[in-house]
Amino acid sequence: MSEEKKSLNFIEQIIEEDLSSGLNPEKLRFRFPPEPNGYLHIGHAASICLNFGLGEEYHAPVNLRFDDTNPAKEEQEYVDAIKKDIQWLGFKWDKELYSSDYFQQLYDWAILLIKKGKAYVDDQTSAEIAEQKGTPIKDGVDSPYRNRSVEENLELFEKMKKGEFDEGSHVLRAKISMKATNMLMRDPIIYRVLKKSHHRTGSDWNIYPMYDWTHGESDYIEQVSHSICTLEFKHHRELYDWFLDQVYEDKKLRPKQREFARRNLSYTVMSKRKLLQLVEEGIVNGWDDPRMPTISGLRRRGYTPKSIRDFSETAGIAKRDNVTDIALLEFHIKNELNRTAQRVMAVLDPVKLVITNYPEGKEEILIAENNPEDENAGSREVPFSRELYIEREDFREQANKKFFRLKLDKEVRLKSAYIIKANSVVKDENGEIIEIHCTYDEDSRSGSGTEASKRRVKGTIHWVSIDHAEPAEVRLYDRLFTDEAPDSHKDKDFKDFINPDSLKILDNAFVEPSLKKAKTGDQFQFQRLGYFNVDKDSTSEKLVFNRTVPLRDSWAKQNK
């Protein structure tokens, strides 16, 4: 199957090797294992695209497994949001599963470990246990409870389960070695007492299994062939395999853990714990704030499933930690919207322009192309009249030769309309321009075929007819952090790098009337400005738009 492919990533190579050494392709199975303690982010998208991508490539099932062993932090809200995001990205899981469904089996296996003399109840505090752990160059110290009898261990573990012990008073530990070079092998904890209600099992359990014990055994129960996780679990692989050895039965498939580098994105943070802080401290307006690197934030911002999948594909998977430039993500959405987004005119910071030689009360319907990149996109009608709004920054009384927009005594073309020349301005008592008076060349209408219509002027500016315009609020987003890697500074908190100007609200914008019927999520190119979509906060009185991405990256220029 791989012949026509250009190159395989290292995970695909591992799978190919397994297949050529006899693994039945029908046994291939993958899983995506989120902990439901937050919303998915663009880093998770890397793992989703990798696992579900392998599923598609090898026609193999992919389980969605909620890794819900920590009742303190997990909630149904997150389960629902995670499912929604994966579906939105366009992937289908085979089975929806929960680690908590295996609590009984994991417990039974823990009993088996005790009976084999491979697990014991430790009555020490976590601080005492940590102290005995040793260091990579110093052996650990055996717990005084390490050599308890099987009977005593069974009895104590039963009491832990029944809730007879307080949190923190007892743990169950695997009996491996306190001298292992891999610190994780030094008698790791497999169960702790936690008297918390669980989002699925309620108050059934007073003990909860630890990640390492749960994860590999869950893979085994589900018969996952390749359990792909991120690099920080590399050292856990030895323990993963040790745990599997304890329960493995002949003829069953033995899951294989392999690791790849986490996706990090510049100018943001990617840990759910940190993202939760931003939400809880009100630094952003929820998990789906368009500045968040969450899938729901990106969706609200105007990112499409395809742009995120294309981004994941190009960014690829790596064996070493690295930071992906956020510009790559922006490139993919710009690329897509350039092909698909309808062009419209919107004025974000309006100033009034009066065409003094245009008849009062006259209205014309002009025809504008919907998308020059797409010949099937057609055209639309845009009303024109004597009084228009143009962008305040598109006019200067005086300016040098490099200013190709409107200035006194000079001409520009109004997009899809006429050539105008600015003659004078009206100012208020503070000296601010409130009106620009100009005249138009009646014969210069775009597309009319006249000599004047073909006349070339240096600049073209966008506009909306005041009588016809729809009021709008436009939200301009910038990077949420001013630093490329906000959580990489030892002596500083990531929140010290919050960009105070990450959201700018323009609440006096106007858009052309064709947008009146726009619905939440609809995407447009505001000509000369960027790509925008309709936010869910829109009402019938006022449209609200998010800027997905500007046409040009002014940010790079300012800050380099």
- Rule CB under 6 A: is residue 236 a binding residue for ligand ATP? no
For residues 159 and 169, what is the distance between their CA atoms, to the nearest angstrom? 12
Q: Which is nearer to ligand ATP, 232 or 442 (CB)?
A: 232
Contact 228, 50 (CB under 8 A): yes
Q: What's the helix, strand, coil split of the chain in %, to 5? A: 30, 25, 45
Q: Which two tokens stand for residue 242?
A: 């040790």
For residues 64 and 190, what is the distance between their CA atoms, to the nearest angstrom? 23
Q: Which is nearer to ligand ATP, 85 or 512 (CB)?
A: 85
- Rule CB under 6 A: is residue 11 a binding residue for ligand ATP? no
State whether residue 224 is helix, strand or coil: coil
From the list 142-150, 163-171, 267-275, 394-402, the region that binds ligand ATP by CB under 6 A is 267-275
Q: Which is nearer to Mg ion, 78 or 481 (CB)?
A: 78
Residue type, position 91, single letter: F
Q: In whole angstroms, what separates CA 171 from the centre of its chain?
A: 37
Q: Which is nearer to ligand ATP, 38 or 302 (CB)?
A: 38
For residues 201 and 194, what is the distance between their CA atoms, to the nearest angstrom? 13
Q: Which two tokens stand for residue 554?
A: 């002014």
Residue type, position 69, single letter: T
Cβ at position 35, least distance to ligand ATP in Å: 4
Cβ at position 84, least distance to Mg ion in Å: 20
Q: Return the residue of 192, 263, 332, 380 that touches ligand ATP, per CB under 6 A.
A: 263
Q: Which helix (H) or strand (E) holds 425?
A: strand 419-427
What count of residues does the chain have? 560
Q: Return the residue of 230, 439, 453, 499 that touches ligand ATP, per CB under 6 A.
A: 230
- Minimal CA–CA distance to 77: which of 279, 263, 346? 279
Q: Which does 47 bind (CB under 5 to 8 A by kind): ligand ATP, Mg ion, none?
A: ligand ATP
Cβ at position 27, least distance to ligand ATP in Å: 21
Q: Which is nearer to ligand ATP, 294 or 342 (CB)?
A: 294
- Rule CB under 6 A: is residue 297 a binding residue for ligand ATP? no
Q: Which does 33 bind (CB under 5 to 8 A by kind): Mg ion, ligand ATP, none?
A: ligand ATP
For the chain, report the end-to-end CA distance as a whole number of angstroms: 45
Strand 387-391 with 463-465, pairing = antiparallel
Cβ at position 93, least distance to ligand ATP in Å: 13
Active site residues: 35, 262, 272
Q: Which does 263 bind (CB under 5 to 8 A by kind): Mg ion, ligand ATP, none?
A: ligand ATP
For residues 101 and 488, what is the distance between their CA atoms, to the nearest angstrom? 37
From the list 28-36, 191-199, 361-369, 375-383, the region that binds ligand ATP by CB under 6 A is 28-36
Mark residues 367-396: x for contact with ligand ATP by CB under 6 A, - for none. Answer: ------------------------------
Which residues contact ligand ATP by CB under 6 A?
33-35, 43-44, 46-47, 67, 229-230, 262-263, 270-272
